[in-house]
């Protein structure tokens, strides 16, 4: 039963705006031996104010998504993310 609760609490390391997620690659040693490793996205939990709904929205976003929100605006980014299926809110 404990594992069921743990799964419910754990969230995926996926950006809710751009959809960036973990990718797999290789560590390459000096002798050219390759071992698997993971590249994680640069995610931050950040609050944004939505003037349309007059409320705060908490999103898990990458650094690139923060720059995109600053450029395009929050409403446009949320609309695109819902259209692409990254955000279900």
| Per-residue confidence band for 10, with pLDDT thresholds at 50, 70 and 90 | low
Stretch 43-60: mean pLDDT: 95
Stretch 39-50: mean pLDDT: 96
Fold of 2-84: Ribosomal Protein L24e; Chain: T; (2.30.170)
Q: HEC states along the chain?
A: CHHHHHHHHCCCCCCCCCCCCCEEEEEECCCCCEEEEEECCCEEEEEEEECCCCEEEEEEEEHHHHHHHHHHCHHHHHHHHHHHCCCCC
Beta bridge partners of 83: none
pLDDT at 88: 79
Stretch 74-87: mean pLDDT: 93
Stretch 74-79: mean pLDDT: 94
| pTM: predicted TM-score of the whole model, two decimal places | 0.79
pLDDT at 1: 46
């Amino acid at each position: 039963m404990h594992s069921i609760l743990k799964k419910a609490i754990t969230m995926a390391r996926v950006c809710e705006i751009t959809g960036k997620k973990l990718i797999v690659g290789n560590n390459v040693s000096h002798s050219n031996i390759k071992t698997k490793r993971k590249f994680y996205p640069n995610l931050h939990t950040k609050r944004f104010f939505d003037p349309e709904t007059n409320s705060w929205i908490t999103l898990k976003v990458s650094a690139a998504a923060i720059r995109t929100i600053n450029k395009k605006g929050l409403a446009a980014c949320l609309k695109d993310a819902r259209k692409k299926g990254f955000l279900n809110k």
